[in-house]
Chain A
């Protein structure tokens, strides 16, 4: 199935639709496909451009500038500042993520039922949606022992097992992975099943009209009903279009969806969000690992998942090894890069309790601020310590910690000393998962259990915004399962008039 995308020049005031979807990421694509397959008149608008697989290459800088919002530079201001990365292209963040598809942990769904009243979103309700997603995205687990090239994941797995820790193989949405190690900059072989290769072609094949390069700037509404959306079409040649629609579904992501609602006067007051934090480690092994020959995230250490910590291998490119040393002189970076064949990159992901906040009204882009708690800082230190233990057990010679000004460590004891004195401002966090900015609940909450924005009969949200809390695991599977359930309820409501 081929994806058909209309360019922004083809979007005019004459375009009208019954069901307008803003966004083309994980949630929006599910909604688009489900509604189109049901025979509804659907238009999808995506702010970013369409970049087909053939256009992807190994130029990390150029691909990052092309596929990420702000070229990958969107900070959460705070102490410390956190680098946030999200996709801005047809397919959204699914084009630049690792393609991990996990079912929501049971304890998370139980927490949501207990604390947020979401009794009809149990695994019993969601499991058929997960099965559909896993089929549609060709989700599979690759045995790490069978992939001779994936030594960085194998080392991690073996190190964890030696410590008696739980380490599992990761389910990923890939078909015939070629180990090109370019997941975060667009899979050049088309192996990773982003929305642009799966749900969106199905949506457009069933009649959905998808326009790229179109940014929604304001939702027009009157008397508790959405009447349309003002769209800025194009960049240098931009035009303002007034799109009329009978129903609106927001799938622009956990930052942009609430930002748009706030700019449109549909949500007022404080808008907070939750997120995950990543800590990146560079590990220098005694023996060569040739991590560049492998791929991303094939194993995950889940020993401390209930405590909010995960550990996995990350993609490696010379640029990614150099980035943590940005600011230091090139000669210092060159010394590290000389050991490239011995190097591997790992990510520890933590589930913080801290919150982010979205400030709108400063222009088209929101200002984002995040505040971490003392518990989060303790969790980060524990994650670093657990990671270091696995690395040295796995045969590491040196570990570079994600701490400003910290020397490379050659033992877990040395790491412990450094971490004990580390201040929060030293941590170099990255975030790639934002969520829960319009949390769904059956009690006081912006969005009800059907994804409907309270007070507006024809406005729905179907993206990461609606998840009640962060989940401590890659959220794509959860976002899509929720979107499947929400789309089903939406269709039932539509049929019943």
Chain B
């Protein structure tokens, strides 16, 4: 319920290139993001999870699928519209920040390998 929306937000954030669009990269960044979320205090973590769950619900109702399975253009529009809501933009910003930090790590590791 929650993970699909977080995966969708991550995909939106890191699809810089073919590498960024790959399922492998998204899943790697997702794993790091979920780990960081697990470290947050409950009063920070639960609102994030609630918003992610709400995203899943709204996306299913509007588009019949989850955020991570939406077409990239449609996903971009969905996130842009939702980002105008006062609390939602905090969620997008927070998850986006974590995703970006770990994406660039993954790119760095690829260069080193």
Contacts and interface: CB of A to CB of B under 8 A. Distances in A.
Interface of A: 58-62, 64-65, 70-71, 73, 75, 81, 317-319, 322-323, 326-331, 333-334, 362-365, 367, 404
B8 interface: no
Contact of B83 (A62, A327, A364): A327
A333 B12 CA distance: 11
B43 A367 contact: yes
Contacts of B76: 329
6 contacts: A61-B98, A70-B41, A323-B100, A329-B13, A330-B13, A404-B89
Given A59-B108, A65-B35, A362-B43, A330 B20 contact: yes
Interface in B21-66: 32, 35-36, 39-44
B6 interface: no
B69 interface: no
For chain B, the bracket of interface size reads: 35 or more
Contacts of A367: 41, 43
Q: Which of A61, A365, A367 has the most CB of B within 10 A?
A: A61
A319 B104 contact: yes
Interface secondary structure of B, over-half rule: helix
B92 interface: yes
Q: Which of B13, B32, B35 has the most CB of A within 10 A?
A: B13
A333 B109 CA distance: 20
Interface of B: 12-16, 20, 32, 35-36, 39-44, 76, 79, 83, 89-90, 92-94, 96-105, 108-109
Contacts of A322: 100, 104
Nearest to B104: A319
Contacts of A70: 36, 39-41, 44
Q: Which of A328, A333, A365 has the most CB of B within 10 A?
A: A328
B92 to A, nearest CB: 4
B98 A71 contact: yes
A64 B101 contact: yes
Nearest to B35: A65
A318 B15 contact: no
A154 to B, nearest CB: 26
A334 B21 CA distance: 14
Contacts of B15: 329-331
Contacts of A328: 96
A326 B36 contact: no
A318 B104 contact: yes
B100 A326 contact: yes
